[in-house]
Structure 1
Amino acid sequence: MKGLHGWMRTLEKSEAAVLSTLIKELDQVTASDESSGAQLAEVILKDVSLTANIIRVANAVTFNPSNIAVTTVSRAVINIGFKNIRSICLSIKVLEAVLKDSPSPLLVAMLARSLHGANQAKALCEKLNNTEQEEVFVASLLSHLAELLVLGCHESEVRLLKREIEPSSSIEEKNRCAEKFLGVSLTRLAKTLTKQWRIEGLINDVLAGSGEEDPRVQAVILGDEISRVALLGWDSAEFKEVAQRVAEFKNIGEAEAMFALKKTADETAETVASFGKKVLVEHIPTSTRAAKELEKKYDNETEGLQPNTAIELEALERLDKLLAGDFNINEVFKLCLQGLHKGIGLERVALAIFDKEHQRVVVKYASGQSTEKWREKFVVRYERSRSGFLFNLFERDQAAWIGNSDYQHITQFISPEYLGITGQKRFFISPLATVRKRIGFIYADMGQTSRELNTSYFEGFHRFLDKSKEALTILAAR
Structure 2
Amino acid sequence: MTAPEIVTEEHSATVTLLLERAEKKGDLPIYNASLNKVRSISANPDSHAMELAQTIMKDANLSVKLLRIANSPFYNRGMGKIASVSRAVILLGFDSIKNLCLTLKLIESFTDDHPEVALNKMVAHSYLTAGFVRDLAIKCNPKEAEESYISGLTHNLGEISVGYFAPQTYLELLNLFKNENMSWIQAQERILGESFASIGQQLAKNWNFSHKVINCMSDYNPETKGIVKNQEQLNHAIVSLGSQIIGSLYQERQQIKTPINKLMAQLSNATGIKLDHIEKSLANSFHRSCDLTKEYGLNPRLLQPSIHDTKDSSRDKLARELSFILTDQDQTNTEIEKDSVPFLKVINETNLTPHSHILAENTNNTSNKTVHKKSKPQLEIKQNISNTTKPKLHGDPNLQLAIIQEITTMVSEQASLNKLFVKILEGLHNGVGFDNAMLCLLSPNRKTYAGRIVLGNNSQTLQQTISGKFDPTNDIFSRILSEGSDLVVDDCNDSNWNNVLNANFSEKSNCQSFIIAGIKSRAKPLGFFYVDNSETKLAFTPEMKRGFTQFIAQARLSVQICN
TM-score normalised by L of structure 1: 0.50
**5+ long unaligned stretches in structure 2:** 1-12, 306-318, 327-563
SS at match of 2:118: helix
What is aligned with 1:111? 123
More divergent stretch after superposition (188-197 vs 277-286): 277-286
Determine the C-alpha separation between the residues in 2 that align with 1:290 and 1:238.
22
Q: 1:252 to 1:277 in 2, by over 3 A?
A: closer
What is aligned with 2:266? 245
SS at match of 1:152: helix
SS at match of 1:202: helix
Match of 2:246 among 227, 232, 236: 227
Matched ranges for 1:49-448 at <5 A: 49-64=61-76, 70-77=82-89, 80-99=92-111, 101=113, 106-127=118-139, 132-153=144-165, 155-163=167-175, 173-207=183-217, 213=229, 214-231=233-250, 238-279=259-300, 281-283=302-304, 287-289=321-323
Deviation at 1:21, TM superposition (A): 5.0
Deviation at 1:89, TM superposition (A): 1.0
Determine the C-alpha separation between the residues in 2 that align with 1:201 and 1:12.
24
Deviation at 1:174, TM superposition (A): 4.0
Deviation at 1:173, TM superposition (A): 4.4
1:190-233: CA deviation from partner (whole Å, max 9, x where unpaired): 22222333333312322467997421122211221221233389
Determine the C-alpha separation between the residues in 1 that align with 2:190 and 2:301.
29
What is aligned with 1:39? 51
Determine the C-alpha separation between the residues in 1 that align with 2:279 and 2:32.
35
Deviation at 1:259, TM superposition (A): 1.8
Q: 1:136 to 1:291 in 2, by over 3 A?
A: same
8 Å contact 1:16–1:94 — kept in the other structure?
Answer: no
SS at match of 1:125: helix
Determine the C-alpha separation between the residues in 2 that align with 1:198 and 1:33.
18
Letter of the 2:239 partner, please give it: V
Letter of the 2:85 partner, please give it: V
Letter of the 2:238 partner, please give it: A
Deviation at 1:102, TM superposition (A): 6.5
SS at match of 1:143: coil
- Alignment identity in percent? 21
Deviation at 1:87, TM superposition (A): 1.7
Which fold has the larger relative contact order, with Cα–Cα distance below 8 Å and residues 6 or more apart in sequence? 1
What is aligned with 1:11? 22
Deviation at 1:91, TM superposition (A): 0.5
Q: 1:237 to 1:289 in 2, by over 3 A?
A: farther
8 Å contact 1:116–1:227 — kept in the other structure?
Answer: yes
Deviation at 1:153, TM superposition (A): 3.6
Deviation at 1:290, TM superposition (A): 6.7
8 Å contact 2:176–2:187 — kept in the other structure?
Answer: yes
Determine the C-alpha separation between the residues in 2 that align with 1:157 and 1:142.
21
Determine the C-alpha separation between the residues in 1 that align with 2:268 and 2:120.
30
SS at match of 2:158: helix
The number of residue pairs the alignment matches comes to: 285
8 Å contact 1:122–1:219 — kept in the other structure?
Answer: no
Deviation at 1:29, TM superposition (A): 4.1
Q: 1:254 to 1:139 in 2, by over 3 A?
A: closer
SS at match of 1:260: helix
8 Å contact 2:117–2:170 — kept in the other structure?
Answer: no
SS at match of 1:75: helix
Determine the C-alpha separation between the residues in 2 that align with 1:74 and 1:281.
32
Determine the C-alpha separation between the residues in 2 that align with 1:184 and 1:246.
26
1:67-122: CA deviation from partner (whole Å, max 9, x where unpaired): 97654212333565545222211111111111264765721111111121222222
SS at match of 2:297: coil
SS at match of 2:138: coil
TM-score normalised by L of structure 2: 0.43
RMSD: 3.9
8 Å contact 2:177–2:187 — kept in the other structure?
Answer: yes
Determine the C-alpha separation between the residues in 1 that align with 2:106 and 2:77.
26
Deviation at 1:49, TM superposition (A): 2.8
